[in-house]
Structure 1
């Protein structure tokens, strides 16, 4: 496909603007939050885009993709809206059994109505991914009916053709993810459609079992772009079925899909595919001429709210240039304790793995505790900072994002504050606390490290993270491991290297030599011990939670001896190991323990604060 420069707009690679982009403007409707990306290009287009999301783990992996596409479209004068279905992401939950596929379809309709209103009534293109692509295809005719300026295009990326086949694929995919996490089979979700901690509403799953999207009647006059995965013949067959029914169909290959959905922490955005889709949308919009009204611009709306019986949530842009996005969850009753900063993990969106942060925030609000979940720069819905490296994990630049959140707390009189985070989020919370005295407590779950060597390549480290010695010992004697070896599904060389590294480290640490063999090891050890000493002097309360056999325990043992025995010298630190849990704390019992520790910490720090009666901003 020709580049955008050959047709209608700017060259994709030349869109990099040295100015800091603002996060999209938050809106609320139909019990959910949306993000309205205003047009900011050199010329306005006579079209807007509604993004129709996929579900579950696929949505987690594509959330950043939609943000990138929205920003690129905005650079060419095309406004857009992206949103969450009820019961997903940041949307409100309905009573059990109340969420159906029909409710999701009604939310798509409500989103389209809102976008038309905000965009001045220009024609709208639907851009869907996965299940969202199939819903868009199925609903297109009805959405266009009776509209003075209706739909003007449809993009179906990796669409679902058969609901039953899709559910079977989810089941297989979920097993692969759970196996990768070494989650005990007894603790895995049973009797529901679930993947990566996301549970599909039964009212949705039951309809999908009987859904054949290939039988949909396509909109005959609407241009369709199908972005097909070459290894999934069903994608192309669906496109051909729509063409046979009279639809105007174009097809391109989905380059980079597998690298994007491998796992969020190492996901690579399929930029070649983004360019092709953006080019197609821009060209369709350019063919429609100029809009009657002026270009839709950012109206300055920086927040939007949703309310439930126990809590009130405010989605907001914050920080310098409104560059960051997050959601403040406050109790409807009088606020108690310290506010909790929920620091995100890796490139997971602020809702968390399996919506864990959403559930945590709302449970905390039920007991009177306010919390804030947000995306750091270049994560989820927060755009990157110009000029900084693409890789932001374990980078000092993320401290600026935490500082911006704490500045917002201070401006809203929400302090004192504590921070909670898992894995890399735990590292960021810990490191930020050593630099900012406004954090008075920490609850860290499966923190991988307490100091990151700047010479260590983050990308390499994330791809070859070894497991704990106990995990290797457990796995090597299982039948599934032998079967995977026979099928050549195990990278034996890499596994052996990782096992050797962990075994050597355990031996050296047991002999208390590991921290003294090299200059790098000595610096690492000195930095960790100095950080703990500073926090002890400030009397920062620290709770460390680790899943049994988590690789992070190896780092604890490295610096504080076997079983972390030398942590006893710090009266402000307590540590607990949770048996049978995975790295993500997926089981309900692990989430319950994590909630209890955060709750207790928030109450404890809040009661010790000089401002004994915190002000409520509800």
Structure 2
């Protein structure tokens, strides 16, 4: 698996030379994030079967240059696929190219196949996985998904409305002209079929399926079309902590592509090859983009992968920032949060590492299955601590860790383990410790009681309940679980007081193994403060992590009394996953100010620590 860069795109070449190769066309947006693991392993599977594969990030996605809101995205992405096919021919020496796309990536693959056919470079075959046939229907689906998420997860947040004509879906955005282009997309009404052989997987087969209409259209154009179901699609297209690799579908795709490759090779036998393949090149590890330099790096004995974003000039700050994975996401972050933020920091002279832990993303041995307990386990904490040591070895004297949710958990523990860490920005930390009780409650979607109370005061929600749009039993069960958790917290405090453990932790007398999450948290914040680690806990106004923080640090944040370097801030707009643009801006601004304060302190060691007095959690702090 080689990292490559071409025409502003970044990608990976899987496998070596071959006669037929595959260009994987991922769906842009949140579906690309959710399916990243599955497509990476499809590429690995094909390469293991002797078929070279190129998977890549379009402009404005992943690690590539550009913005998803830039104009004419569809035309740009189609051009990126055409360029990727040329790269595959040049780097792997293939004579025949198969385009394989998922969802909107499948639509782009079909459109790119038309462009290639117009250049007498038609692909040998097309593989369309749950393709978007009607752009208008796709846009309706995306709008409904985003509204449902807002109503369910962030009903209390007064977010800015997107600009007229644009589309915002779970941290990703499309400009008005791209939306208009999608509204006019109907694959089944385009002229002909751009490939002689087509495999289509349809997750919703039936008389009303637009995919079946597309297959009929391609057959009428003379193509050999095989149409099959895609029963594993629902398990694939979920948030990354739950998304599964569709093993059965991938085996079918690999077998079909091998057969298509053999058929294409027979058809091409005896044809002259215009250009011999170029020499096999090493990884493209460094590239310039948007006024900064980025470098693909492998660390921790090659177990972890990352993109190190550096200032373009020779001058750089002695401080570096690391962004660990959030949940099962790969290193770019939802909405490319870590890409935009690392480039912003680098343009101001501060390097940043977007990190894939060993089991995730583009790391060499990334797992096929995501496990939340494994994300919270000891191993990834140690891996992040190893990344801190690696950054220090690159000449960065001081390290800041900035993470979201599980990334905040890992950052907290790595910060406690490494004295190289001078700053922590922890957004929506959900757990201070992880144990068997946490494993037992996996899969129980929880909301804080404050958010449930907020939702209960909205008349529209009662109408939704009466219509049956909201199920009452899960809500009541969720409330009961939250009440039980609060009661358990009270009992834990009483038990700790009887043992005298909490008072010892509060005094910082015992940094050994904590018996409870509360004891751990008290000891942790005091240890960080003694070391002078600037630590910011950031929470949305009704984030469920606030209840855990109240239980662990005290309803009035008693654990922070007398501390100079640790603060908890409650922000008006910071949804849990940082999907909203305002949430991403709030997090990014806090990270930048955090780094600026540390650099000022390092430039003037005698400078007194900034005041970090924190109001009780019952009060609201402004961002």
Question: Which position in structure 2 is the counterpart of 1:14?
Answer: none
- Counterpart-to-counterpart distance in 1, 2:495 and 2:190: 64
SS at match of 2:150: helix
SS at match of 2:241: helix
Question: Which deviates further from its counterpart, 206-215 or 230-239?
Answer: 230-239
- Whether the 8 Å CA contact 2:408–2:427 is kept in 1: the answer is yes
Alignment of 1:410-449 (within 5 A): 410-449=392-431
- Whether the 8 Å CA contact 1:161–1:213 is kept in 2: the answer is yes
- Counterpart-to-counterpart distance in 2, 1:544 and 1:98: 37
Question: Is 1:179–2:156 an aligned residue pair?
Answer: no
Counterpart among 521, 527, 536 of residue 528 in structure 1: 521
Residue 184 of structure 1 deviates from its aligned partner by 4.0
- Whether the 8 Å CA contact 2:170–2:580 is kept in 1: the answer is no
SS at match of 1:264: coil
Question: Which position in structure 2 is the counterpart of 1:60?
Answer: 33
- Counterpart-to-counterpart distance in 2, 1:599 and 1:223: 52
- Counterpart-to-counterpart distance in 2, 1:283 and 1:142: 24
CA deviations 1:472-515 (Å, max 9, x no partner) are 11112323433443344445333323212323444565687376
Question: Which deviates further from its counterpart, 89-98 or 106-115?
Answer: 89-98
Counterpart among 292, 295, 302 of residue 314 in structure 1: 295
- Counterpart-to-counterpart distance in 2, 1:390 and 1:257: 19
Residue 353 of structure 1 deviates from its aligned partner by 1.4
CA deviations 1:127-156 (Å, max 9, x no partner) are 1011111121123243145567x6222100
Question: Which position in structure 2 is the counterpart of 1:201?
Answer: 175
- Counterpart-to-counterpart distance in 2, 1:386 and 1:265: 12
Q: Aligned pair in 2 of structure 1 residues 434, 284: CA closer, same or farther (>3 Å)? A: same
- Whether the 8 Å CA contact 2:19–2:94 is kept in 1: the answer is no
Q: Aligned pair in 2 of structure 1 residues 378, 152: CA closer, same or farther (>3 Å)? A: farther
- Whether the 8 Å CA contact 1:338–1:416 is kept in 2: the answer is yes
TM-score by length of 1: 0.85
- Counterpart-to-counterpart distance in 1, 2:480 and 2:514: 18
Question: Which position in structure 2 is the counterpart of 1:120?
Answer: 93
Question: Which position in structure 2 is the counterpart of 1:230?
Answer: 204
Question: Is 1:248–2:224 an aligned residue pair?
Answer: yes
Question: Which position in structure 1 is the counterpart of 2:3?
Answer: 26
Question: Which position in structure 2 is the counterpart of 1:582?
Answer: 575
Question: Which position in structure 2 is the counterpart of 1:339?
Answer: 320
- Counterpart-to-counterpart distance in 2, 1:94 and 1:509: 45
Q: Aligned pair in 2 of structure 1 residues 52, 385: CA closer, same or farther (>3 Å)? A: closer
Question: Which position in structure 2 is the counterpart of 1:90?
Answer: 63
Alignment of 1:374-523 (within 5 A): 374-384=355-365, 390-391=371-372, 392-453=374-435, 455-456=436-437, 458=439, 461-506=441-486, 509=489, 513=493, 516=496, 522-523=515-516
Question: Which position in structure 2 is the counterpart of 1:142?
Answer: 115
CA deviations 1:409-444 (Å, max 9, x no partner) are 234213311100011110011111122222221000
SS at match of 1:121: coil
Residue 542 of structure 1 deviates from its aligned partner by 0.6
Counterpart among 249, 254, 273 of residue 278 in structure 1: 254
Question: Which position in structure 2 is the counterpart of 1:542?
Answer: 535
Counterpart among 323, 328, 333 of residue 352 in structure 1: 333
Question: Which position in structure 2 is the counterpart of 1:554?
Answer: 547
- Counterpart-to-counterpart distance in 2, 1:399 and 1:95: 32
Question: Which position in structure 2 is the counterpart of 1:36?
Answer: 13
Q: Aligned pair in 2 of structure 1 residues 466, 295: CA closer, same or farther (>3 Å)? A: farther
- Counterpart-to-counterpart distance in 2, 1:484 and 1:467: 18
TM-score by length of 2: 0.85
Q: Aligned pair in 2 of structure 1 residues 117, 461: CA closer, same or farther (>3 Å)? A: farther
CA deviations 1:94-134 (Å, max 9, x no partner) are 69754432122111111111111111133111110111111
CA deviations 1:183-229 (Å, max 9, x no partner) are 44641543321101111133322212222211223446621100101
Counterpart among 97, 104, 107 of residue 80 in structure 2: 107
RMSD: 3.2
- Counterpart-to-counterpart distance in 1, 2:55 and 2:250: 16
Residue 269 of structure 1 deviates from its aligned partner by 2.5
Residue 521 of structure 1 deviates from its aligned partner by 10
- Whether the 8 Å CA contact 1:515–1:559 is kept in 2: the answer is no
SS at match of 1:72: helix
- Counterpart-to-counterpart distance in 1, 2:296 and 2:152: 33
SS at match of 1:263: coil
Q: Structure 2: any 5+ residue segments left out of the alignment?
A: 500-512, 606-623
Counterpart among 71, 76, 95 of residue 44 in structure 2: 71
